[in-house]
Amino acid sequence: MEALRPTPQQVFRADLGRELDRIEAAVAAGNDDLAALGFWKVVRAIKLDQVAVLELAGQAGAIDTAAFRARVRTRTRPWVGVVAMLVLTVLGFVGIWLADAWTGVWSGLAILGTGVAWSIGWHLPTHAFVGWLAGIRYTDAFLGGPSPPRPGIKTDYATYLRAEPSMRAWFHASGALATKIAPFAALVCWPSTDAPAWSAWALVALGVVQIVADVTLSTRSSDWKKFRRERQVARDRQAALSRI
């Protein structure tokens, strides 16, 4: 009896698997430059094929984790990073209390400190919570990014790939939105304090600067770029399903 020939999609998935084997061997040998190894091109192809996600997400996740840990040394358990940022959020509430207890410049600095603390402190926990709702889990909290270093949370990439693309998109957007909202949340608290008017304008300026930075930078290199990327993956996958 003649053996059944593999379908084009089965051949394609086998090719992706061989590419992952090659990349995995290179990472094990000490090369952690996933872009140069072609890893992200393979990942893009996997994202568009739900069967490939089921078959290959585990291996892709192991490669991503190994490369990340070889490259990033300042890291800890995910919950440590989340708790640290929640502590920073609590300090923001302390800033509101101080802004009411103090007067003049110190009161203004206290409420401005609240805006800064919340801008930093809300980012990582919001990412973590929205990702958790999408089924994404985490391997590490870390300090990374361009100078100055920023706290971040590393996804378990296998769970990231298995999440719905639209949910992955909102996972990326969530932290950015929380950061931009934070100064204006502090501004809402400003009238209940004795902080001078300049501190309110400073909070507005902080929020506006962050929004401008998102529009000019993040859409090309950070959260909003990833948001747009995953939205496109969701559209491409839906288009592929409609052709079946």
Contacts for 18 with CB less than 8 Å, ≥ 6 apart: none
Q: How confident is the model at residue 73 (pLDDT cuts 50, 70, 90)?
A: confident
Contact 186, 92 (CB under 8 A): yes
Q: What is the mean pLDDT of residues 180-187?
A: 98
More confident residue, 150 or 149: 150
Contact 135, 159 (CB under 8 A): yes
Alpha-carbon distance of 239 to 23, in angstroms, equals 29
pLDDT at 216: 87
Is 137 exposed, middle or buried (CB count within 10 Å of its CB: 0-12, 13-18, 19+)? middle
Alpha-carbon distance of 14 to 116, in angstroms, equals 49
Quickly list H helices, 50-192: 50-71, 78-101, 104-121, 123-133, 157-162, 165-189
* Mean model confidence pLDDT for the chain: 93
- Report whether pLDDT(144) > 90: no
- Report whether pLDDT(145) > 70: no
* Domains of the chain by residue range: 8-71, 75-242
Contact 51, 12 (CB under 8 A): no
Quickly list H helices, 29-77: 34-37, 39-47, 50-71
Q: How confident is the model at residue 1 (pLDDT cuts 50, 70, 90)?
A: very low
pLDDT single digits (tens) 190-241: 999 999 999 999 999 999 999 998 888 777 778 999 999 999 999 998 887 7
pLDDT single digits (tens) 75-108: 999 999 999 999 999 999 999 999 999 999 999 9
